[in-house]
Amino acid sequence: MPAIPNRPVRVRFAPSPTGYPHLGNIRTALFNWLFARHHRGKFILRVEDTDVTRKVEGAIETMMDSLLWLGLDWDEGPYFQSQRLSLYQETASRLIETGHAYLCYCSLERLEAVRQEQMKQKQPPGYDGHCRNLTQRERAEMEAKGIKPVVRFKMPLEGETTFHDLIRGQITFRNETMSDFILLKSDGYPTYHLANIVDDHLMDISHVLRADEWVSSTPRHILLYQALNWQPPQFAHLPMILGTDKAKLSKRHGATAINEYQEEGYLPDAMVNFLTLLGWSLDDHTELLSRDELIQHFSLERVSRTGAVFNKVKLEWMNGVYLRKLNPEEYVERATPFLERGLPPSVRRPLDLTYVNRIMPLVQERAKTLAEIPQLTDFFFMDELSYDTEILPGKGLDTTTATRILEVALQELETVEPWDSQSLESTLRQLSAGLSLSTGKFFGLLRTSVTGRTATPPLFQTMAILGKETSLRRLRAVLQKLSPSQ
């Protein structure tokens, strides 16, 4: 239920284009999206590009690609804050006029010196209010010197600011612990605090769902709403996604950019399911939920308050589950791009789709990610097998017996007709019995001979798909390899 009745749910995801989308960013987007869809509200995309110096080229595009990849479609936007500068500037002026903000001419050097001194005195760092009460004349002097001022918010010196967090409950800050933060930078761009509240107000945002790291700036935002006489939205601070060291996710935690998961062959649905469970749960046993179920059941009440360590092994498991659930056509469709990209260059492109269609069912329950498929199936596509000769002749067999077995098998296989898995199975099982050889050893030898691997999909189906010619050719090649004259 929306916290404010009669107010339509409008939420936003507001990334800044300063890097590639993170698991954490995406999870925030996801919760916003789920919340909007659950309440039949709007999900808005807003780009907070107010830091000219940190802008990364292509970041927005990657962000949007990632959202779309996961199926997180937005209803409005993207809006760009860099195109709305006058809005923030006007608001800043209004705040100055009403006595809630002031111009500050302090140099970066002075601010740094103040900070150093505060650190030395073991005081909390923060602006000392130097320009808070400049006279008309002092300001004129600064202007005359050509100093571009910033606009600072005039923090109340006493009292406290409280807000109700939908996930955490009441949170209170003493105003004296907060200093006069900057609203408008000297280049005319707003800081996050200003742009954020102006846009949330103008865009009629009903709920702000954002990461935990924002709680301590929320009182500043509340105070700004009050100064502007605007009604603040509801706040809900989401638990963060942590690295294995329990610290805030960053580049040093390895693969955290969402597009890497796409490249590693994870399915959007698995990703969405898994990410939702990082900080939200339905009950004490449900792990697998479809997108619709997620939308239907999602609620802020069931969002947890503790940070969650991202556990890739469990993601792999879940992705395997989703992979196995795919119908054969979808599976091939998903797998093909990975095969095209991952198979050795020597394999002729484009791949024979009919052939691919026959192979894929054999690996569907064996791969945890799409990216594993090429290495699981490359022997189907390669002309020349390259493998470790150590795996021949195989456990419990010496070269002489292996050779004899292969010769007999070869002879027998030449007569197999039709070359399908049933005929192969009956022929080879009989032969195995005839040779008084355990199926383990016998099929194992054939397996390595025909595939160059010790672990493969079931032997008969594999041979059937490989075809008679290729299978026999590979068996002969092994005999060559084993012969002493070599």
Q: How far is the CB of 49 from RNA (least distance, A)?
A: 8
DSSP 8-state secondary structure symbol assigned to residue 303: B
**Is 251 one of the catalytic residues?**
yes
Q: How far is the CB of 433 from RNA (least distance, A)?
A: 12
Largest CA distance in the chain: 109
Answer for which of 61, 75, 287, 407 binds RNA (CB under 7 A) is 287
3-state secondary structure of 396: coil
Element (H, E) at 150: strand 150-153
Answer for which of 28, 32, 50, 91 binds RNA (CB under 7 A) is 50
Answer for which of 85, 96, 171, 351 binds RNA (CB under 7 A) is 171
Nearest-10 Cα torsion for 318, 322, 325, 331 = -140
Q: Which of 148, 251, 314, 395 is catalytic?
A: 251
Tokens of 161: 């600011």
Answer for which of 38, 51, 225, 326 binds RNA (CB under 7 A) is 51
**Of 1, 351, 347, 387, the residue nearest 166 (C-alpha):** 1
Tokens of 22: 């993170």
Binding positions for RNA, 366-425, rule CB under 7 A:
366, 425
CA 390 to chain centre: 40
Q: How far is the CB of 348 from RNA (least distance, A)?
A: 26
Instruction: Name which of 7 and 470 has its Cβ closer to RNA.
Output: 470
Amino acid at 302: R
Residues present in the chain in total: 486
Binding positions for RNA, 186-205, rule CB under 7 A:
186-187, 189-192
Element (H, E) at 234: strand 234-238
Answer for which of 168, 253, 297, 468 binds RNA (CB under 7 A) is 168
Answer for which of 260, 365, 388, 414 binds RNA (CB under 7 A) is 365
Axis crossing angle, helix 353-363 with helix 459-466, rounded to the nearest 10: 170
Q: Strands 207-211 and 234-238: what pairing? A: parallel
Q: Does 281 bind RNA (CB under 7 A)?
A: yes
Binding positions for RNA, 214-253, rule CB under 7 A:
214-217, 239-240, 242, 245-248
Binding positions for RNA, 74-103, rule CB under 7 A:
none
Locate all alpha helices (DSSP H) within 248-372, ordered by sequence: 258-263, 268-276, 291-297, 312-325, 328-342, 353-363
Peptide bond just before 374 cis, omega within 30 deg: no
Q: How far is the CB of 407 from RNA (least distance, A)?
A: 20
Strands of the sheet containing 101-104, edge to edge, are: 101-104, 150-153, 182-184
Binding positions for RNA, 435-454, rule CB under 7 A:
439-440, 443-444, 447, 454
Binding positions for RNA, 98-157, rule CB under 7 A:
106-108, 111, 115, 122-127, 148, 150
Answer for which of 26, 198, 227, 277 binds RNA (CB under 7 A) is 277
Binding positions for RNA, 320-339, rule CB under 7 A:
320-321, 324
Instruction: Name which of 9 and 63 has its Cβ closer to RNA.
Output: 63
Q: What are the catalytic residues?
A: 251
